[in-house]
Structure 1
Amino acid sequence: MTPLGMVFGGLLLVVLDFRIDWFDVLPDVIGWLMVIAGLNLVRGRHPGLLGAFIASCLGLVSSLVQLLPDGELTPLVAVGESVAQTGVVFGVCTALMTLGPEPRIRSQAGLVRWLDLGLALIGVVLAPLLTGAPTLSFAAATGPAVGVFLLLVVAAIVVFVWFMLLVWASREAADLQR
């Protein structure tokens, strides 16, 4: 598997939850370890990849906290996960802007990194305003906040899928190999 293929697969495991009752069959830890392994192979190729590697380590720590006996998704852990995912997207996209296999991917990577960062910042600013909680939570949203929340979630999903498609398309680029 190529380094970016490992990043792709790992992030897929992080964002998808396979639960049986309360038990997560594939804990996020496995996904973050795959992301770290992939980025470790290429972190010297571009400073953005080193930044993404560091952000993925934060993601691993956040996911390890969730494995503790009382490791529920506290606001601090949720923020850590969000920062980690945004850091990985921003770092990988920054590297793709230089090392991407074709001009289309390089230009789209620049747009995706800013859209992802912007949505993350909007979420951080709007969370207390919309829900009174430190993180965006559908359960805490009421009234018009539900519509705004759903709009942000849909936009974030679209941008993340776009990012994943860029990573998939770039996974075999010569400059992004070991």
Structure 2
Amino acid sequence: MTPLQRVAMGLVIVFGIAMFPAHPTPSWESYDALADPVGWALVLLGTKDLAGRHPQLTGAHRAAVVAGLVSVPLWFPQLNHEVSGAGAWAVQVPQGLACLLLCVGIGRLAAEQEPRDAYAAKRFGLLTYGFAVVLVLPALVEGGGLSGLGPAADLVKLVVVVAAVWFLFRVHRRTWLGGPGPLEVPAAGPGRPRDE
């Protein structure tokens, strides 16, 4: 598994939700089967390898460490249901910051490649802006009294996270990001069996 595959799968676990039991009593006593600390452990494995190759990504790794530590007590419903409003935004800042710093780092590294990796530079540059918006929108919704923007903020977050996971998987084979290089698929031709 490449470093970016670990990061992408970790983000799927972190941002995904699978609550159990279905009908808890009291209503707040449910757990997320996709435990965020497990997701952050995968992200940490990926970012540690990336930070070892590229010191520019050390900040993303450190922010992921903080996000992982914050996620441990929040997995338990006894504490999780107590956090709301500005407190909920504050505990989500490390995860947004980790994603933001990762996208900044990958985008800059892509621009520095010879030849320039325009695909990765553009996509991760846009994701940088996306995660910046994801970080700021909850503060506007909660602190700015713009509660009508709540559903729109959730939609923006969903789109940005799905795009981040998609593009992490799209570029995971890049050798400069710790990948194995391009996938070599032999062309079907005379004398070669063709998969049906």
Query: Do the structures match in fold with TM over 0.5?
Result: yes
Cα separation, partners in 2 of 1:69 and 1:154, compared to 1, 3 Å: closer
Percent identical among aligned pairs is 22
CA RMSD of aligned residues (A): 2.3
* Structure with the larger helix share: 1
Q: Cα distance 1:69–1:20, how it changes in 2: closer, same or farther (>3 A)? A: closer
Seen in structure 2, the aligned counterparts of structure 1 residues 14 and 81 have a Cα distance that, compared at 3 Å, is farther
How far apart in 2 are the matches of 1:56 and 1:109? Answer: 18
2:98 maps to: 88
Superposed, which structure 2 residues align to 1:12-161 within 5 Å? 12-21=12-21, 22-67=30-75, 70-73=78-81, 74-75=83-84, 78-100=88-110, 102-130=117-145, 145-146=147-148, 148-161=149-162
What secondary structure, in the 3-state scheme, does the structure 1 residue paired with 2:78 have? coil
Paired positions, count: 164
TM-score (norm 1): 0.80
Change (3 A) 1:80 1:36: farther
| 2:128 counterpart letter in structure 1 | R
Q: Quickly say closer, same or farther: Cα 1:159–1:49, change in 2 above 3 A.
A: same
CA–CA distance in 1 between the matches of 2:123 and 2:35? 31
Aligned to 2:26: none
CA deviation string 1:7-39 (max 9, x = no partner): 001110011122222132231111011101111
Contact 1:65 1:77 in 2 (8 A): no
The runs of 5 or more residues in structure 2 that have no matched partner are 22-29, 180-196
Report the CA distance between 1:79 and its aligned residue: 3.3
Structure number, greater radius of gyration: 2
- Aligned partner of residue 150 in structure 1, secondary structure: helix
Answer whether contact 1:43 1:53 (CA < 8 A) is retained: yes
